[in-house]
Chain A
Amino acid sequence: MNFDLSPDETAFRSEVRRFLDKHLPDDASHEDPDFLESWHAALREKRWIGFAWPEEDGGAAGTLMEQFILKQEMATRNAPPLGSDFMGLTWVGPALIAHGTPEQKARFLPDLLAGTSSWCTGYSEPDHGSDLASLQCRAVLEGDEYRVTGQKIWTTLAHEAKWIYMMVRTDPDARKYRGITCLLVPMNSPGIEVRPIPNLSGVTSFNQVFFDNVRVPVDNRLGEEGQGWLVTMAALANERIGISESTEKSDHLDRLIELARTAQRKGKPASADPTVRRRLARFEARIEAMRLNELRHLSARLEGSAPSSETSLNKLLRGELEFEMSELSLEILGTAGLEEGPWQRAALNWHGTIIGGGSPNIQRNIVAERILGLPKD
């Protein structure tokens, strides 16, 4: 156990810091298109957009530890994401690298790295959410085309994306995991209809997507037929290093502490109340636990262990933490917490992030069944 960086790791961190000094001005706005363009151009030149990807696929073949250092330095400096297409870079790229044909890689990866494609992912269906493996959106092979008919729902960014990475059922008779196949489908294909669903904040972030006899060339199948579940799970297991998440929570805590110092409750700053201070300290303990859980998981990976269900741990911690932090912010604000503002939006958005990628009860099932070995539901 040694938390000091090795000479190589220190050298890489210096390289990242020099890069950030040069390309990330203190007053950079994540909204400014000119800045974002130069930021992405600088990253492309370093091959850092697909940092962990193999060199032949356009990446820098960065190690897990370098990835960790890069993400941590970027999060500390509040840098914008490595690329604009989060879904594509996080889920689609790794799945293509692991299972794509040379033609598919040549066709999709350069656009992903150039930031000219944009992806959404089609998993959940109206009747198949937590029980994802029972999904029913059908694809029937006719000649060299699939015909896709069915629905996807809660599809984030479907109203903006050019492509959808989706799981469809190709064999209704196979046991549920086995009859699933992965398809890469242009969102402008005839027969696709996108209906936005406003979330409880009134914002459109996700959609319902209807597929009516949508023709998809067989060349757009990723992996073998019937292997879609494994292809997707392998991509999910190739999970990103979650350090930016705990740094993000840590920034959130800093803002909450500032709120507690400045907001007045009964004529005194909210932080004068010891119960408020103790709640803040408990948030700090869980945020730091998340960061160190991630590091410990990373160390185990470096020593050769496979990605594991341990990532569910931080997802559970994060969900409760976000809820309790936003509740405290509203309590501190009191009646003023009813007025529109960032704290109110965060308190409402939590209800979406807690479900995305698997509800807390699903995460608890994963921990109980896969780690503790309890009977399956």
Chain B
Amino acid sequence: MNFGFTEEQQFLRDSVRKFLDERASIPHVRNWIESDPGMSLEFWRELAELGWLGLTIPETHGGAGLGWVELTVLFEETGRSLLPSPLLSTTLASTAILDHGTPDQRSRWLPSLADGSRVGSIAILEPSDHLVPSALQARGEADGSHWRIHGEKSFICDIDRADFFVTAFRTGENDEEISLAIVDRGAPGVHTEKVPCLDSTKSMGRLKLDGVQIAPEAMLGAPHQAWPAVERLMDQGAVAATAEAVGSAEAVLAITVQYAKDRVQFGQPIGHFQGVKHPLAEMHVDIESIKSLLYYAAWSLEGSPAETPRYSSLAKLYASDAFTRIGVDCVQLHGAVGYTMEYDAQLYLKRSKWFRPMFGDADHHADRLAALRGLR
């Protein structure tokens, strides 16, 4: 048993962090989110060349063939720098194809995702914002060997950047008769709408599907039986997003600790006062605790899949509560400058607000954990 990172994983972390510190520091990020695509396409191409987009894609399909622990390391670091990019979305889309696709589908989609020539995202939730099978109302009607989907999908990350969406829809009357398909952005009947997001380092939007035709080769896994795949995808999303949250939380804690050392009031650095240093200590306790839960959840995805639902929920529950508080407290500990656009704490506050509901909010995961213990 070993809870540590290997030398290779540590090397990955160091090199990712060094690269992002140099090339995607907060001033860069501020420039990018004020520009039109809200990110740097040139930087995205560099990430593809570095192999970050295909970390878990097998080498035979142009990826690095690594696992979720490495992915967690990567997302912690991109979260630390608040990197605006569709990395999380395209990783989840490639994971869905890798986990549930046929050999043909893998060969067709994975190489282009690994080299960044295509970007994917996932479309699961609907305006009801409820993560249970019965809440999925987008409906697929059988049309010969094809399906036709009608419905609306909401809260989709990177709506403006994705070339396709791994989409969940209903193909039967029973609650869990859910299917997954790859919906091409350019297909007739697909309408996308970008919605301004409170966190401008993230891009969000909606998808309207008006009788979009789905060919059999675009279906992921067997029809009607995709709910477990949807749940796993949301668990993977929760793990990836929690990894980003850990990096962001560590970054804003470091910024605030530095501020507490530098800012002098009443003749001493404010970090001298317990009213300031104690909340900072609590943040450290929470971040370390989230890491422990997160790393176990990430390991379980491949090492012990039966434990993933419990551990991804434990991690996301803890992190949704704690990162929210950290975002708020760090802005507040800066005093009035925390409320300005100029200081960086606000960027992390907004990221914490984005993170809280994504891939299930704290109540969703608490209810799921209670249900796993037979409480309802």
The answer to whether A and B come from one shared complex is: yes
Q: A residues touching B (Cβ–Cβ < 8 Å)?
A: 1-6, 9, 65, 257, 260-261, 271, 274, 277-278, 280-282, 284-286, 288-290, 292-293, 295-296, 298-300, 302-303, 310, 313, 316-317, 361, 363-365, 367-369, 371-375, 377
B277 touches A281 (CB 8 A): no
Please name the 9 residue pairs, one residue from A and one from B, whose CB atoms are nearest each other, closest first.
A292-B292, A299-B3, A289-B289, A281-B366, A367-B281, A368-B277, A277-B370, A278-B366, A281-B369
B5 touches A289 (CB 8 A): no
Q: How far is A185 from B262 in the complex, measured between Cα atoms in Å? A: 48
The stretch of B42-50, B103-111, B266-274 that contacts the partner chain? B266-274
B367 touches A278 (CB 8 A): yes
Task: Give per-residue flags for B319-332: 1 if the beta carbon is below 8 A from chain A beta carbons, else 0.
Answer: 00100000000000
A371-B284, A374-B272 known, 8 other contacts, Cβ within 8 Å? A277-B366, A278-B362, A278-B370, A284-B314, A289-B318, A292-B293, A293-B289, A364-B282
- Quick check: is B337 within 8 A (CB to CB) of the other chain? no
Instruction: Name A293's contact: one of B268, B288, B303 (CB within 8 Å).
Output: B288
B370 touches A280 (CB 8 A): yes
Taking CB atoms, residues of chain A closer than 8 Å to B369 are 281, 284-285
- Quick check: is B197 within 8 A (CB to CB) of the other chain? no
- Quick check: is B375 within 8 A (CB to CB) of the other chain? yes
Q: How far is A217 from B269 in the complex, measured between Cα atoms in Å? A: 48
Taking CB atoms, residues of chain A closer than 8 Å to B280 are 368, 372, 374
Could you tell me the distance in whole angstroms from the C-beta of B38 to the nearest C-beta in chain A? Answer: 33
Taking CB atoms, residues of chain B closer than 8 Å to A293 are 288-289, 292
Task: Give per-residue flags for B56-73: 1 if the beta carbon is below 8 A from chain A beta carbons, else 0.
Answer: 000000000000010000
Instruction: Name A367's contact: one of B9, B284, B321, B375 (CB within 8 Å).
Output: B284
Could you tell me the distance in whole angstroms from the C-beta of B304 to the nearest C-beta in chain A? Answer: 7
Q: How far is A371 from B271 in the complex, measured between Cα atoms in Å? A: 13
Could you tell me the distance in whole angstroms from the C-beta of A89 to the nearest C-beta in chain B? Answer: 25
Q: How far is A9 from B2 in the complex, measured between Cα atoms in Å? A: 11
| A280-B375 CB under 8 A given contacts A1-B299, A3-B299, A374-B280 | yes
B314 touches A65 (CB 8 A): no
Q: How far is A300 from B292 in the complex, measured between Cα atoms in Å? A: 13
B272 touches A375 (CB 8 A): yes
Q: How far is A302 from B375 in the complex, measured between Cα atoms in Å? A: 39
Taking CB atoms, residues of chain A closer than 8 Å to B69 are 1
B288 touches A2 (CB 8 A): no
Classify the secondary structure of B's interface with A.
helix
* Closest chain B residue to A299, Cβ basis: B3
B3 touches A296 (CB 8 A): yes
Q: How far is A271 from B280 in the complex, measured between Cα atoms in Å? A: 34
Classify the secondary structure of A's interface with B.
helix
User: Please, how many residues of chain B have a CB less than 8 angstroms from a CB on the other chain?
Assistant: 51
Instruction: Name A374's contact: one of B277, B365, B376 (CB within 8 Å).
Output: B277
Could you tell me the distance in whole angstroms from the C-beta of A346 to the nearest C-beta in chain B? Answer: 21
Within residues 277 to 308 of chain B, which ones have a CB less than 8 A from any CB in chain A?
Answer: 277-278, 280-282, 284-285, 288-293, 295-296, 298-299, 303-304
Within residues 307 to 363 of chain B, which ones have a CB less than 8 A from any CB in chain A?
Answer: 311, 314, 317-318, 321, 362-363
Taking CB atoms, residues of chain A closer than 8 Å to B261 are 373-375
Q: How far is A300 from B272 in the complex, measured between Cα atoms in Å? A: 30
Could you tell me the distance in whole angstroms from the C-beta of B303 to the nearest C-beta in chain A? Answer: 6
List 22 A-B pairs, Cβ < 8 Å. A1-B4, A1-B295, A2-B2, A3-B1, A3-B304, A260-B375, A271-B375, A280-B370, A281-B365, A281-B366, A285-B317, A289-B292, A290-B289, A292-B296, A296-B288, A298-B3, A300-B4, A303-B4, A361-B274, A364-B282, A372-B277, A373-B261
Q: How far is A374 from B370 in the complex, measured between Cα atoms in Å? A: 39
B293 touches A313 (CB 8 A): no
Q: How far is A286 from B362 in the complex, measured between Cα atoms in Å? A: 13
Taking CB atoms, residues of chain A closer than 8 Å to B178 are none
Q: How far is A201 from B277 in the complex, measured between Cα atoms in Å? A: 33
- Quick check: is B260 within 8 A (CB to CB) of the other chain? yes
Could you tell me the distance in whole angstroms from the C-beta of A114 to the nearest C-beta in chain B? Answer: 33
Q: How far is A286 from B285 in the complex, measured between Cα atoms in Å? A: 11
Q: How far is A368 from B261 in the complex, measured between Cα atoms in Å? A: 11
Taking CB atoms, residues of chain B closer than 8 Å to A271 are 375
B277 touches A364 (CB 8 A): yes
* Closest chain A residue to B260, Cβ basis: A374
